């Protein structure tokens, strides 16, 4: 039952991922990306990481996809043909190399772990309390550094997106 | 319960799709979306392995990755906007200001 549910969700995630790279319209790509992110949130909750599931919906599905859609709105969604300026064989080289990469990854992963499920974690191990406690005690320094990084990103975004007034104009 | 290996294989497939998108698409926005997708698949790997070993460190790491991804997308999209303002294109093949 659980396995069937997983297979269903995995199929939706793969449809979303393929839709992102196959759509001709950037808006469709962003919406397929949203589908992918929401399915991942369900996966996190299935894996006992409730807080991460909520964060995934808020940050990725909420903030990042909306940011993408805003930029698409500003610069236009029609982005022309999928392969412009790329030679035809280069595309197939990319496909074949990714297929080989995937084959190596899957072959490596298939024998890396025992097939049984250890279920070592308590069901509420990823709760807000547990993860918050870890973040604010053991991992306080990385947490604060992440806030510094967010501040730097904010300043960078404002500086880059600002409209420069050139001196020749005045 | 679903075996952890299934999650890992799914994450690998989605990572490969994202990398393929970065390679075959020429639009800077789509490339950004694919990069986000790849980051996300790695997050899934971390969460699955955190559950496998009963360790919370993986989930804490995913938090940091989410923060980095948010910063990356904000700065990256600002760069795309700046490029569109200067050159009126999002095609990465046409953005070759630094080519000698």
pLDDT score of B45 more than 90: yes
Task: Let me know: does A16 contact A33? Beta carbons within 8 Å.
Answer: yes
Spatial distance between the Cα atoms of A158 and B82, rounded to a whole number of angstroms: 11
Indicate the range of A3-7, A83-87, B50-54 predicted with least confidence.
Answer: A83-87
- Please tell me the predicted confidence (pLDDT) of residue A2: 85
Q: Do B67 and A52 touch (CB under 8 A)?
A: no
Residues from chain A contacting residue B54 (CB–CB below 8 Å) = 118, 120-121, 125
CA of A135 vs chain B CAs: smallest distance (Å): 7
Put simply, whether A35 touches B (Cβ < 8 Å) is: no
Nearby residues of A88 by Cβ (< 8 Å), 6 or more positions away: none
B11-38 pLDDT, tens digit per residue, is: 999 999 999 999 988 888 999 999 999 9
Tell which residue, B48, B41, B49, B44, has the closest CA to residue B16.
Answer: B41
Contacts 24+ apart (CB under 8 A), A31-38: A33/A65, A33/A68, A33/B33, A33/B36, A33/B37, A34/A61, A34/A65, A36/B14, A36/B37, A36/B40, A37/A61, A37/A64, A37/A65, A37/B40
Nearest chain B residue to A130 by CA: give it: B56
ipTM score of the complex?
Answer: 0.92
Backbone torsions φ then ψ of A165, nearest 5 degrees: -105, 110
Longest dimension (CA), chain A: 71
Q: What is the pLDDT of residues A109-159, one digit of tens each?
A: 877 776 666 555 566 677 888 888 888 999 999 999 999 999 999 999 889
d(CA B33, CA A68): 8
CA gap B21, B35 in Å, rounded: 9
SS3 of chain B: helix, strand, coil, percent, to 5? 80, 0, 20
**The pLDDT of residue B55 is above 60:** yes
Query: Which B residues 12-31 touch A at CB under 8 Å?
Result: 12-21, 23-27, 29-30
| Residues A37-73 pLDDT 10s | 999 999 999 888 889 999 999 999 889 999 999 998 8
Report whether pLDDT(A34) > 70: yes
Q: Considering only alpha carbons, which residue of chain A is nearest residue B62?
A: A52
Side-chain-side CA neighbours of A132 within 13 Å: the count stands at 7
Size of chain B, expressed as the number of residues it contains: 100
Residue A107 has pLDDT above 70, yes or no: yes
């Amino acid at each position: 039952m659980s396995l069937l549910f997983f297979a269903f969700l995995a199929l939706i995630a793969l449809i979303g991922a393929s839709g992102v790279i196959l759509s001709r319209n950037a808006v469709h790509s962003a919406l397929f990306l949203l589908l992918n992110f929401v399915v991942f949130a369900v996966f996190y909750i299935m894996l006992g990481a409730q807080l991460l599931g909520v964060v995934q919906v808020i940050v990725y599905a909420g903030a990042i996809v909306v940011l993408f859609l805003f930029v698409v709105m500003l610069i236009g969604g029609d982005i022309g043909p999928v392969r412009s300026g790329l030679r035809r064989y280069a595309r197939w080289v990319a496909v074949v190399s990714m297929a080989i990469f995937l084959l190596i990854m899957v072959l490596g992963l298939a024998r890396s772990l025992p097939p049984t499920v250890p279920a070592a974690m308590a069901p509420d191990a990823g709760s807000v309390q547990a993860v918050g406690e870890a973040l604010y005690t053991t991992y306080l320094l990385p947490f604060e550094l992440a806030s510094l990084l967010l501040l730097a990103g904010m300043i960078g975004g404002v500086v880059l997106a600002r409209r420069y007034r050139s001196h020749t104009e005045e | 319960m679903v075996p952890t290996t299934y999650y890992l294989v799914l994450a690998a497939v989605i990572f490969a799709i994202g990398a393929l998108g970065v390679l075959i698409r020429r639009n800077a926005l789509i490339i950004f979306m694919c990069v986000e997708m790849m980051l996300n698949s790695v997050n899934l790997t971390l969460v699955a392995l955190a559950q496998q070993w009963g360790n919370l460190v993986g989930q804490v790491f995913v938090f940091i990755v989410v923060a980095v991804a948010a910063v990356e997308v904000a700065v990256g999209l600002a760069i795309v906007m700046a490029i569109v303002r200067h050159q009126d294109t999002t095609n990465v093949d046409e953005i070759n200001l630094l080519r000698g």
